[in-house]
Amino acid sequence: MRKLTKKYLDQLTFDIIGAAIEVHKILGPGLMESDYEEAFLIELGIRGFKFTTQKTVERNYKGHQLKRKLRFDVLVEDLVVVELKAIQKVLPIHEAITISYMKHLKVPKGIIINFHVNNIFYEGQKTFVNEYYAQLPDE
C-alpha cells in the first residue's frame, strides 16, 4: 500500500484530470453530462483506477440522521471526489457542494470538471483541498 502523501494525491489529481482531458479530446464539448460521465468512467477503468459512482452519503445533525441524502458523481481511490458538469459556467454553489461532499466523505481532495469548455486544463477544472489534505506529509 502506498503511503498517503500530498505528493501522491497531487499526482492522482493530475492523472484524474488527464483522464478527463482524454474524454474531452475525443468527445469535445456540447454533449450531456451523462455522456461524459460514462466515457470518464470507462477512461478511469482503462487507466486502472478504483472508483465508485453515484453513491449516497448519509449525514447526521446532532445525532439525528438526515433523511435527504447527498449523491456524488465519482469517488476515485476513496480519496478524491469528482463532480462532473456539462454547463455554461461553474457557479459558487457547485463549488460549495463539492466541498460539502469532501467533508462528509472525509476525503482530502475534490475536483470539479466541466466539459462544456474549449480546454479542460485551462478552464474546465478546479481542485479543492481541505483539512485532511493539510494534515498529510508532503512526501
Separation between Cα atoms, residue 56 and residue 50, nearest integer Å: 17
pTM of the model: 0.92
Q: What is the pLDDT of residue 69?
A: 80
Local mean pLDDT, 10-residue blocks, the chain (139 residues): 87 97 96 97 98 89 88 96 96 95 95 96 95 93
Task: Cell numbers for 71, please give them.
Answer: 449523491
Per the structure block, which three cell numbers stand in for 53? 459512482
Count of residues for the chain?
A: 139
The domains of the chain, with CATH numbers, are: 6-133 (3.40.1350)
Q: Which residue has the cell 435527504?
A: 68
* Strands of the 51-53 sheet, one edge to the other: 51-53, 74-76, 80-85, 109-114, 125-129
